[in-house]
């Protein structure tokens, strides 16, 4: 089992900042950036869990929910990567952490 704490920490930090952000900041693009990231992490998790199944796209549930959506998608991916056989998902953890950090920077949070 791999240590996915770096991913979960990055996801939770970004999600917490989204939850605390004012509505105006979320509407200025932070929510859209976070939703795009949540969708990407969710698709990655679904593909890792069942490569034969077409991934479902996370719906836009609104700017006030996007922090929770990001937390769920990020933690789902972290759990799948944590329990994956050694070497089977090589590089995906570092890539996911990078995606989270880049999105948080673009969102200004």
Domain that holds residue 30: 5-107
Structure tokens at 108: 């200004």
Q: What residues of the chain score a pLDDT lower than 70?
A: 1
The Cα 57–Cα 38 span in angstroms is 10
Q: What's residue 1's pLDDT?
A: 65
Q: What's residue 94's pLDDT?
A: 93
Please give the model's pTM, rounded to 2 decimal places: 0.94
How many domains is the chain built from? 1
Q: Say if CB 109 and CB 21 are below 8 A apart.
A: yes
How many residues in total does the chain contain? 109
């Amino acid at each position: 089992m791999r240590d996915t704490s770096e991913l979960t920490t990055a996801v939770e930090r970004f999600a917490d900042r989204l939850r605390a952000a004012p509505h105006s900041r979320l509407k200025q693009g932070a929510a859209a950036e976070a939703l795009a990231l949540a969708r990407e992490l969710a698709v990655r998790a679904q593909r890792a869990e069942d490569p034969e199944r077409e991934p479902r796209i996370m719906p836009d549930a609104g700017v006030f929910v996007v922090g929770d959506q990001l937390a769920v998608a990020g933690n789902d991916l972290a759990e799948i990567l944590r329990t994956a056989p050694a070497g089977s998902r090589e590089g995906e953890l570092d890539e996911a952490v990078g995606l989270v950090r880049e999105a948080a920077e673009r969102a200004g949070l």
